[in-house]
Every structure is written in structure tokens, then in C-alpha cells.
Amino acid sequence: MFARLRGLFSNDLSIDLGTANTLIYVKGEGIVLNEPSVVAIRMERGTGNPKNIAAVGIEAKRMLGRTPGNIQAIRPLKDGVIADFTVTEKMLQHFIHKVHKDKFKFFHPSPRVLVCVPCGSTQVERRAIRESAAGAGAREVYLIEEPMAAAIGAGLPVNEASGSMVLDIGGGTTEVAVISLTGIVYSASVRIGGDRFDEAIINYVRRNYGTLIGESTAERIKEEIGSAYPGDEVLEIEVRGRNLAEGIPRSFTLNSNEILEALQEPLSGIVSAVKTALEQTPPELGADVAERGMVLTGGGALLRDFDRLLAEETGLPVLVAEDPLTCVARGGGRALEMIDETGTDVFASE
């Protein structure tokens, strides 16, 4: 009962708990938080080594790879699911508080929370997400499968009896799904995402330049010159890394064709997942998809010319949703609003 009272002073939240970024959408306010899913933990010196949170989100991400011995910057989610339960709970708690910060300080927020889960996640993984949201102070926890949230957020006509195909390329996973009548007809999840792109770049640079670069650098390379399809212009970027042979940091230049080559392996993984999905889709729905096209959401959709690659590979129209990064969180928010209208059809069972 007290929780319900506190609920009056809390907002309903839709959380896109992603491997790379966590987004929070508040009903009526839009996206209010968009931070990296990174937590920095400080080990206190002394008996028992008690741990406490040094930083969460952007601050913690800046520490990634730059921490002294007693601080550990970690990403509590791997491949779209929880790898470190307690840290995830702390991070969620921090974010939920942050969203409610300039509201009522004397109440612990106790919102209704909707969390997006990868469609390939197991029961145990879903339960872990539910528990950690509840542990972070949520009054009620709903789960929704990411592609469903992405489709709603992208504005696909999910209620209609026609097939809509959505490809959500997140940090840890890529989800592909065909949706009709507010239900998922086919879905698949491959554990390839933005992180794998970064890893591929790191490996490529080490192999070809004998130089080690960090995750943040790799991400910056991907954002600035990364592309999925050979373009008309060649972009260049200057980066710094430690030369493995000399052991000294060196500066060198990379161009977009090299990055395209580096990204071939993860990209082909995603393309084959899409092709498999098209193979498995019932013919009527497949025809709908062929007529209208598939929609890309998630941060990966921002990779230059990714839509073009998929269009060439599949021969179908491929569209990038408006504001692909926030589609899942927005769709989750919309689903929360739909609870009152259509019930809990769209939610995932545990």
C-alpha cells in the first residue's frame, strides 16, 4: 500500500537495458536518460575489500580502460543479458533515482517499469532482469521483447494483419523479427552487435598495424568512418595506439575501406540472420515484407550504408527508422501506455 502511495510520486518508465547504452523513456516526457551501461567500482582498501560504486554511466565510461588498480570499470551486461547481477541492480537503481532526482526527494521512487529483453534470452536471464529491476525499486516490472518494442517505436503497423519485419541492431545482440497482429511470428537473436564491430576493428588494427587500440578508440573509428557498403568517398581518421613491437604509442591513419574490410565478418553474420529470417517467414507475411520492406532500428542502423548492404543482399526495400537509437525505449513507453487500451498482449512472458 505504501508502495502504491510512492507510486503516485513516480513516473512509469520504459527502460532499454542495452549492452552498450541504457535509455529511459518517461511517459509524457520522452527520453530522459541515455547513458552507457557502464559502472565503475571502487575496491576499498582494508579488511574484506568492501566495494562501492565510484561512477555510473558517462563518467564510468570515461574511466573504461583508464582505471587504476583499485577501480574497475565494468559493463554489467554482455550480449544483451545480465552478466553481473548486483552491479546491474545498482546501475538501474542509480538511473531510476537520477530520473526522479528533481522531483520528490523524500520519497524513494517506486515506478512501474517496463524492461526490454532480447528475444533469444533464456528464462533464467529474463528472471534476472526482472529481479534486478524489482531490486532497484520498481513497483511492477513488465518485460517486452526488444524487436516488438523496436517495431512499436519505429511506428510499424504492428496491430494489422500484415507482416512487418524489424531488425534491431543493438550493442550486444541483433534481433530480427516478423510481427503481425501484435504478435511475434518469427524471431531470432544473434549475439552480434555494435560491440562485435568494435572488437573486429581492434583485431584488424592489431593484425594489420601491429598496434593495440582500446574499445573507446575503436568505437570512435566506427562512428566516424565505419561503413557497411563501399561508398563513393573514402574517409580517413587518425588514431593512436600502442605499437606491439616497440611498446610505444604510435599514431597512424585508417581509412573507411579498411574498416569496411574489418567489419566484414560481423556484418555477414547479421546478413545471414536476416536471410534465415526471410526463409523462415510464412509466405504471406514474406510477401508483405517484400512489398513494404524491412525497418532497421538500434544503434547499428546508424552504421553508414548498412541499409544499402541489406538491400543489395536481399533485394528488398530497407528503411532506417527515424531516430533508430531510441526506438526500443520509445516503443516500450508506447507499450506501457497501451496497457490501459489493449491489455498486456504485447508483453513477454517470463
Partner 1 sequence: MSTPGQVDTEIETTAAPGERLRLAREALNLSQQDVAERIRIGVDKVAALEVDEVARVGAPVFAAGYIRAYARIVGLPADELIPRFDGLEHLAARPATLASAAVDGNLERLSAGLPAALSRGNGRRRGATLRLIGAGLLILALVGALLWVMDNGSLSLPAAPVASTPAKPLPQNALPASAVERPGDPLPEPPRVESDSHGPQTLAIPAQVEAEPASEPVGREEDLALAPNARAAASGDEPADAGEALAAEVMNELDLYFQEDSWVEVRDARGERLMHRLARAGQSQSLRGVAPFAVVLGYVPGVTILLDGEALDLSRYQGRRLARFSVGAETANEN
Amino acid at 66: R
Q: Which stretch binds partner 1 (CB under 8 A): 28-36, 173-181, 192-200, 226-234?
A: 28-36
- The DSSP code for 238 is E
* Residues of this chain, 167-226, that bind partner 1 according to CB under 8 A: 220, 223
Rg (CA), the chain: 21
Nearest-approach distance from CB 245 to partner 1, in angstroms = 31
- The pairing of strands 164-169 and 294-297 is parallel
Dist. CA 158–CA 338, nearest whole Å:
13
Nearest-approach distance from CB 45 to partner 1, in angstroms = 27
Give me the sign of the Cα torsion angle 98, 100, 102, 105.
Answer: negative
CB 14 within 8 A of CB 24: yes
Indicate the residue among 265 and 305 with the shorter CB distance to partner 1. 305
Nearest-approach distance from CB 308 to partner 1, in angstroms = 9
Closest CA to 137 of 104, 94, 87, 102: 94
State which of residues 121, 173, 174, 326 lies at the interface with partner 1 (CB under 8 A). 326
Nearest-approach distance from CB 302 to partner 1, in angstroms = 6
* Residues of this chain, 285-324, that bind partner 1 according to CB under 8 A: 291-293, 295, 302, 311, 315-317, 319-323
Dist. CA 24–CA 33, nearest whole Å:
5
Q: Is residue 252 a contact point for partner 1 (CB under 8 A)? A: no
Indicate the residue among 143 and 316 with the shorter CB distance to partner 1. 316
- The DSSP code for 302 is G
Residues that bind partner 1 (CB under 8 A): 9, 29-36, 57-58, 61-62, 98, 102-104, 154-157, 220, 223, 291-293, 295, 302, 311, 315-317, 319-323, 325-326
